């Protein structure tokens, strides 16, 4: 492995100072002269026909600049990453309360909001469908004419029935998971400008500027090259800004008014209109032999994608791929449905379908261990995937597999070693302590079926610094800092000499999404190639300067050196000066395409994956048996990110992930009843606060280097929030003997479970 | 010149096969290829030529080039 | 909805304005409830149609204080939760009120929100109300017609409804300081550690005489009754008893029974009834000096 100066060290985040001091300008902080403010009219009903839209009174209001409807969408009136089934502005039908019907541009935010009240819409309410399983019936109202089942995945391997028959133990359960909210601090917001040639620039937090560009272009019927998208920085995204949010509305406003425009959604509007994690109902029947070998798994998942598809199709595929956990299972019958309802919209969310099924399968594994009297860690080690194993979908684990490494590190952690002692710690008699463990894997990249590509640029600047461009946006995960470290070690320069360009179609090539735990791996690999090309260009000029053949040039940190005559050196700064003098540019571009699994699943795109990150997490909880309250006292998180480019960054992701997964396990759920969102802000949507966090989260990084990754790196952004949820619910069982089959494990649910069981 | 074309996902409807070869006169551009395949939606499309994203339709084709055509997508 | 905003500088000015705009004005102090309610109404499409005057009384001096004289504790209506939680008098004389005020929302909310607002808003889940009820607090209301004093328990008509007249301002809340031999406790069950609206709470104030018997008892639960009230049947179960598990248990059961009797059986009753009993039990023991947590 190459010796590194920056990679593997705790370099301070490049945006740390501005974020800590509050000086960083997010998109909603930007303003332009003569700017108008936009507001969106959302539907009054979760399901209705639109009979008439009258904007006359709104248009007459003083200070209103424009009121737009479906008639004003010049291109395709739809958006959606996979299929454009969501109208930009609804014409004849609304399918959820967040559906947009009209768009107002006004001199102030207040006037824009006032104008919304003056728009008259005549609706004919339709019967709603809010239960995904009912939605699958022929008798159900149709959300879309094409039918309510958006995607169906079915994969069978081996002989499930035979395995169930010969099994020593079979556990069969149905699990329910909540509609978790991304709850980014910065709600969906942005600004846009338009120039005299109708070139549009949009600043809007997002996760793939080049795809935003195409979606906006499609709705505007414009050449994408006339639209510039800037996605960095985003004040949090977690998948919730992967889909279009307000970009098209901003574009429509500037297009129709020739003035800059700004839209900032209120928290309530963000909650109602924005993406959520798919609630799933998961039936799972798992068989094991007397020695704990998992023999078979039968899974049926029904996923509620709400009114529109977004990435609901790929999410159910991903869920099925991960539904047998990070284990060898030879006999599987896996079926998943992604179903339309009038319940909001669901889409990408950190974990991408793995969270739901991991909760189910990790509970099943603990149940099996209990029935067999087996150690919970041992059963995981016994069945856990190793390199070369065949995973549930029948694909070979060809890349680095760090599961065992994470399990072993978890086993050696203080929390696991002292578990009996910690559990027995004297507390109040009505409080019971328990320890839970869970592990998982997380597919990185977009999977088999579509090329997952990326690019990067490095350019020597006149002052001797390097402009490094990767378009995968900074959404708070710290990828720009990782790119700076990776670039500095590939270029061989100081991190202080790097000017990072991120998330901007105007200044970076298309590097794909900041999703799928893919950006560090993709950007890093593209940077490696770009640095190689940059070095060639540097060598050419250095050879001229030093009067040595190009092949004699070696690149050291900060300079080019003659191999044969090491005293002959020229600094990058000097090379830059001469580059300017001679009117040259020195630049390297790198293009990278992901390797994929050899296994192809006929008819499916996005599964299986070749590369996975692995993780084991442990939770120590205390359950108050009088109230059902669960407190997570401590947690251990053992991720395998491949090479940790920035260990502190991995720790940050790990700690944030633990708390996000804790909220999923214990408190968070967006309640929608009959299509109406009840939890509209953070007073009723219960996010954990700093006081709810475990007093200690220990992160142990278990690096299993991935040969194809930059310096051995994979990705870790998602896995960190996944197995902690079942680790917590398994800990609840360990504490007081009840299995939580529905999360969040609220005090009521825990209490009810306790009551029906009676604490021993 | 001969160009190798590969269609992915929803774009597969534009070819009888997913992978095939097409022949063009010298000087042909990506636009000619898209015309020949009768691809109508040319906005929401991603094309890689020899691994590089082609941003414009007037990008020239070269002999032996590998052209991958797909719809944008996403993932976890 | 059209909003008017006025910030009177004196109590007199405020009373003048209120008497002129009786039908369409609303007093705001910390605005920690009012703003939330207005946003919620807007997002659910239930915003008031008619114009509304917001009468901001934060500039009026002299309404924020904690006084302790002649055995009476007086708290100005504009005193913030933060100031009450930190008040040496409150912490010393009625620590359970300090605990209750410290459990309100978050530091930001406690710094803005006032006890007067907490009382007048009349939320069944208001944190300061159970201890104030247990203390048999009284309120002083003022208007151009002059002051009037009412008992806290007579102030409420129902959830979010009180007998305050549109032209009246709450000036202060006051109560007799309990005997120094007494013990008190406030316990709250929320959905999280901070920024949590009470799902259940209970305030207990007890006094034990020289013979070791409970001589006085006040028990006021929160978030389970439409309006604050003491549960006399629970109190009676304790009075005259030397503290024992059985008496404490039956007192706690009375609280649960009363909750069901007043609020009826709801989907949450199956959970709330046993849990309010458990909470009451722990609060009683805590007030007696036995803290199990």
B47 occurs within a structural domain: yes
E-strand spans in A195-292?
A: 200-204, 227-230, 261-264, 280-288
Q: How far is CA A653 from the centre of its chain?
A: 12
Token output for A384: 């856990």
Q: What is the pLDDT of residues A216-240, one digit of tens each?
A: 999 999 999 999 999 999 999 999 9
Q: Do B9 and A449 touch (CB under 8 A)?
A: yes
Structure tokens at A251: 């574009």
Average pLDDT over residues A188-206: 98
Sorted by where each starts, the structural domains of chain A and their CATH numbers stand as 31-126+182-273 (3.90.1170.50), 280-447+600-757 (3.30.365.10), 453-511+519-593 (3.30.365.10)
Region of A413 on the Ramachandran plot (φ > 0 left; ψ -120 to 50 alpha; else beta) = beta
Q: What is the mean pLDDT of chain C?
A: 95
Alpha carbon of A14 to those of A498, A657, A741: distances in Å?
10, 21, 42
pLDDT confidence of residue C50: 76
Q: What average pLDDT does this structure show over A74-89?
A: 97
CB contact under 8 A, A748 and C268: yes
Run of H or E including A483: helix A479-491
pLDDT at C65 over 80: yes
Q: What is the H or E stretch that residue A254 is in?
A: helix A247-257
Query: End-to-end CA distance of chain A, in Å?
Result: 55
Angle value at C-alpha C222, between C220 and C228, nearest 5 degrees? 65
Residue A194 contacts residue A258 (beta carbons within 8 Å): yes
**Which residue in the set C43, C195, C270 is minimally distant from A689, CB to CB?**
C195
| pLDDT given for residue A758 in this prediction | 59
Starting at the edge strand found earlier in the chain, the sheet holding A498-502 runs A498-502, A466-470, A453-460, A587-593
B46 lies in some domain = yes
Mean per-residue pLDDT, C257-278: 94
Contact B74 A318 (CB under 8 A): no
Closest in B56, B72, B76 to A225, CB measured: B56
For chain B, how many structural domains are there in total?
A: 1
Task: With cut-offs at 50, 70 and 90, classify the pLDDT of residue C1.
Answer: low
A590 burial (CB, 10 Å; 0-12 / 13-18 / 19+) is: buried
Predicted local distance difference test score (pLDDT) of residue C23: 87
Contacts of C292 in chain A (CB under 8 A): 428-430
Q: CA A576 to CA A371: how far, in whole Å?
A: 69
CA–CA dist A261, A247 (Å, integer): 11
A428 touches chain C (CB under 8 A): yes
CATH of C183-287, one of 3.40.718.10, 3.30.390.50, 3.90.1570.10, 1.10.3720.10: 3.30.390.50
B72 contacts on A by Cβ (under 8 Å): 81, 208, 210-211, 214
Nearest to A688 among C40, C189, C192 (CB): C192
Please provide the average confidence, as pLDDT, over all residues in chain A: 97
Q: Do A611 and C263 form a contact (C-beta atoms < 8 A)? A: no
Question: Range of B64's domain?
Answer: 2-70
How many percent of chain A have pLDDT more than 70?
99
Chain-centroid distance of CA A191 in Å reads 24
Q: Given phi > 0 = left and psi -120 to 50 = alpha, else beta, which region is A593?
A: beta
* CB contact (8 A) between residue A692 and residue C192: yes
Read off the pLDDT of each residue in A286-291 and give the average, rounded to a whole number: 98
The CA dihedral of A79, A84, A86, A87, to the nearest 10 degrees, is 70
- Contact list, A266 vs chain C (CB under 8 Å): 39, 43
pLDDT at residue A760 in the model: 43
Do A748 and C106 count as a contact with CB atoms less than 8 A apart? no
List strands edge to edge, sheet with C25-28.
C3-6, C52-56, C25-28
Taking the Cβ of residue A678 and every Cβ of chain C, the question of whether any pair is shorter than 8 Å is answered with no
- C239 in Cβ contact with C216 (< 8 Å): yes
At the topology level of CATH, where does C1-177 sit?
3.30.465
Q: Which of A46, A79, A31 is nearest to A246 (CA)?
A: A79
- Give CA–CA dist A449/A602, Å, rounded: 10
Nearest to A473 by CA among A232, A728, A177, A180: A232
What is the CATH classification number for the domain harbouring B51? Answer: 3.10.20.30
- The chain-wide mean pLDDT, for chain B, equals 94
Residues A7-21: tens digit of each pLDDT = 999 999 999 999 999
Backbone angles phi, psi at A348, to 5 degrees: -65, 140
What is the phi/psi pair of residue A355, to 5°? -55, -50
What is d(CA A481, CA A500) in angstroms, rounded to the nearest whole number? 9
Domain boundary assignment for chain C: 1-177, 183-287
Residues of B in Cβ contact (< 8 Å) with A516: 74-76
Residue A1 clears pLDDT 70, i.e. is over it? no
Q: What is the mean pLDDT of residues C147-153?
A: 97
Whether residue A523 lies within 8 A of chain B, CB to CB, comes out as: no
Q: What residue in A sits closest to C196 (Cα-Cα)?
A: A683
Q: How many angstroms separate the CA atoms of A201 and A231, rounded?
A: 11
Q: Is the pLDDT of residue C268 over 70?
A: yes
Q: Is residue B20 part of a domain?
A: yes
Which positions in chain A touch C191 (Cβ < 8 Å)?
A: 667, 686, 746-747
Name which of A491-500, A627-636, A713-722, C260-269 the model is least confident about: C260-269
What three-state secondary structure class fits C130?
A: helix
Establish if B76 belongs to a structural domain: no
Residue with tokens 């846009």: A192
Average pLDDT on A85-101 reads 98
Residue A94's CB is within 10 A of a number of other CB atoms, namely: 27
Q: A218, B53: Cβ pair inside 8 Å? A: no
Whether B75 is covered by a domain: the verdict is: no
Residue ranges of alpha helices (H) inside chain B are 30-36
- Give the pairing of strands C52-56 and C3-6: parallel
Nearest CA to CA, how far is C190 from chain A (Å)? 9
Q: How far apart are CA C173 and CA C81, in angstroms?
A: 13
- pLDDT mean over A617-637: 97
**pTM of model > 0.90:** yes
ipTM of this predicted structure = 0.97
Of A748, A750, A753, A758, which to mutate for an interface test with C (greatest number of C Cβ within 10 Å)?
Answer: A748
Local structure of residue A88 (DSSP, 8 states): S
Pairing type for strands A261-264 and A36-42 reads parallel
State residue A654's pLDDT score: 98
Chain B residues closer than 8 Å to A317 by CB: none
């Amino acid at each position: 492995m190459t010796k590194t100066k920056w990679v593997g060290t705790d370099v301070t985040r490049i945006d740390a100072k501005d974020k800590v001091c509050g000086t960083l300008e997010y998109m909603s902080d930007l303003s332009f002269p003569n700017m108008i403010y936009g507001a969106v009219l959302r539907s009054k009903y979760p399901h209705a026909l639109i009979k008439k839209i009258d904007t006359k009174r709104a248009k007459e209001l003083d200070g209103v600049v424009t009121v737009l409807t479906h008639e004003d969408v010049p291109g395709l009136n739809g958006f959606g990453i996979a299929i454009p089934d969501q109208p930009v502005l609804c014409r004849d039908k609304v399918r959820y309360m967040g559906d947009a019907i009209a768009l107002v541009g006004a001199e102030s935010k207040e006037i824009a909001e006032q104008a919304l009240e003056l728009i008259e819409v005549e609706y004919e309410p339709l019967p709603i469908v809010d239960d995904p399983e009912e939605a699958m019936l022929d008798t159900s109202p149709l959300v879309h004419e094409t039918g309510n089942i958006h995607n169906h995945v079915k994969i069978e391997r081996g002989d499930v029935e035979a395995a169930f028959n010969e099994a020593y133990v079979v556990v069969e359960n149905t699990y329910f998971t909540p509609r978790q909210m991304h709850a980014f601090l910065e709600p969906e917001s942005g600004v846009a400008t338009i120039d005299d040639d109708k070139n549009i620039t949009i600043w809007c937090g997002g996760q793939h500027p080049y795809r935003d560009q195409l979606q906006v272009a499609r709705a505007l019927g414009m050449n994408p090259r006339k639209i510039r998208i800037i996605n960095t920085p985003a004040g949090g995204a977690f998948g919730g800004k992967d889909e279009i949010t307000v970009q098209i509305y901003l574009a429509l406003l500037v297009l129709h008014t020739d003035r800059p425009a700004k839209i900032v959604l209120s928290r309530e509007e963000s909650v109602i209109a924005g993406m959520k994690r798919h609630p799933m109902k998961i039936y799972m029947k798992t068989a094991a032999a007397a020695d704990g070998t998992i023999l078979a798994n039968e899974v049926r998942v029904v996923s509620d994608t709400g009114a529109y598809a977004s990435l609901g199709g790929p999410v159910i595929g991903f869920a099925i791929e991960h539904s047998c956990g990070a284990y060898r299972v030879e006999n599987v019958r896996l079926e998943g449905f992604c179903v339309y309802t009038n319940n909001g919209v669901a889409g990408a969310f950190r974990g991408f379908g793995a969270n739901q099924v991991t909760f189910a399968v990790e509970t099943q594994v603990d149940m099996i261990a209990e029935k067999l009297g087996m150690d919970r860690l041992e059963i995981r080690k016994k069945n856990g995937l190793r390199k070369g194993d065949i995973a549930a979908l029948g694909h070979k684990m060809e890349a680095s597999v760090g599961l065992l490494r994470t399990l072993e590190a978890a086993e050696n952690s203080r929390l696991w070693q002292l578990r009996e002692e910690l559990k027995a710690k004297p507390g109040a008699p009505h409080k019971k302590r328990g320890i839970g463990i869970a592990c998982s894997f997380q597919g990185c990249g977009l999977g088999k079926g579509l090329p997952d590509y990326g690019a990067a640029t490095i350019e020597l600047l006149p002052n001797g610094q390097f402009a490094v461009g990767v378009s995968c946006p900074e959404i708070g995960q710290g990828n720009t800092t990782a790119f700076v470290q990776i670039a500095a070690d590939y270029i061989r320069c100081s991190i202080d000499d790097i000017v990072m360009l991120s998330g901007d179609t105007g200044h970076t090539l298309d590097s794909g999404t900041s999703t799928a735990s893919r950006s560090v791996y993709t950007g890093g690999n593209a940077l490696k190639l770009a640095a190689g090309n940059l070095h060639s260009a540097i060598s050419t000029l250095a050879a001229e300067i030093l009067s040595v053949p190009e092949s004699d040039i070696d690149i050291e940190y900060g300079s080019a050196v003659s191999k044969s005559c090491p005293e002959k050196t020229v600094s990058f700064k000097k090379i830059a000066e001469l580059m300017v003098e001679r009117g040259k540019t020195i630049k390297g571009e790198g293009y990278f395409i992901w390797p994929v699994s050899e296994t192809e699943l006929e008819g499916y795109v996005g599964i299986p994956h070749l590369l996975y990150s692995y993780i084991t997490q442990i939770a120590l909880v205390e359950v108050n048996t009088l109230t059902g309250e669960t407190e997570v006292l401590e947690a251990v998180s053992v991720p395998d990110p491949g090479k940790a480019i920035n260990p502190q960054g991995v720790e940050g992701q790990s700690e944030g992930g633990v708390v996000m997964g804790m909220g999923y396990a214990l408190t968070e759920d967006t309640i929608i009843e009959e299509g109406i969102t009840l939890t509209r802000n953070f007073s009723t949507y219960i996010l954990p606060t700093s006081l709810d966090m475990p007093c200690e989260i220990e992160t142990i990084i278990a690096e299993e280097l991935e040969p194809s990754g930059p310096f051995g790196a994979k990705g870790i952004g998602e896995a960190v929030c996944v197995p902690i949820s079942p680790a917590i619910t398994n800990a609840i069982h360990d504490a007081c003997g009840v299995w939580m089959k529905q999360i969040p494990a609220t005090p009521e649910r825990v209490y009810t479970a306790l009551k029906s069981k009676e604490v021993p | 010149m001969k160009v190798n074309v590969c269609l992915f996902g929803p774009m597969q409807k534009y070819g009888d096969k997913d992978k095939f070869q097409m022949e063009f006169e010298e000087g042909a551009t990506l636009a000619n290829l898209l015309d020949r395949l009768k691809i109508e939606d040319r906005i929401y499309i991603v094309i890689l030529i020899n691994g590089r994203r082609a941003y414009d339709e007037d990008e020239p084709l070269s002999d032996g080039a590998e052209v991958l055509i797909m719809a944008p997508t996403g993932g976890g | 909805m059209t909003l008017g905003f006025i910030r009177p500088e004196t109590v007199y000015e405020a009373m003048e304005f209120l008497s002129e705009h009786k039908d369409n004005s609303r007093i705001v102090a910390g605005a920690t409830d009012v703003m939330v309610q207005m946003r919620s109404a807007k997002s659910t499409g239930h915003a008031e149609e008619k114009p509304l005057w917001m009468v901001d009384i934060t500039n009026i001096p002299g309404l924020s204080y904690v006084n302790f004289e002649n055995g009476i504790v007086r708290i100005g209506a504009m005193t913030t939760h933060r100031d009450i939680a930190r008040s040496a008098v409150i912490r010393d004389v009625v620590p359970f009120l300090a605990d209750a005020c410290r459990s309100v929302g978050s530091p930001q909310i406690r710094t803005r929100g006032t006890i007067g607002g907490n009382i007048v808003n009349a939320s069944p889940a208001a944190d300061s109300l159970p201890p104030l009820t247990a203390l048999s607090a009284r309120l002083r209301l003022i208007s151009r017609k002059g002051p009037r004093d009412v008992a806290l328990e007579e102030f409420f008509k129902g959830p979010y409804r009180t007998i305050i007249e549109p032209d009246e301002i709450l000036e202060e809340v006051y109560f007799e300081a309990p005997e120094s031999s007494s013990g008190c406790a406030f316990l709250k069950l929320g959905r999280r550690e901070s920024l949590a609206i009470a799902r259940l709470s209970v305030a207990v104030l007890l006094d034990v005489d020289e013979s070791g018997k409970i001589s006085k008892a006040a028990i006021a639960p929160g978030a389970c009754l439409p309006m604050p009230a003491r549960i006399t049947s629970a109190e009676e179960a304790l009075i005259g008893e030397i503290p024992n598990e059985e008496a404490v248990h039956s007192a706690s059961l009375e609280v649960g029974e009363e909750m069901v009797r007043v609020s009826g059986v709801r989907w949450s009753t199956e959970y709330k009834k046993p849990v309010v009993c458990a909470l009451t039990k722990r609060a009683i023991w805590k007030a007696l000096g036995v803290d199990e947590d």
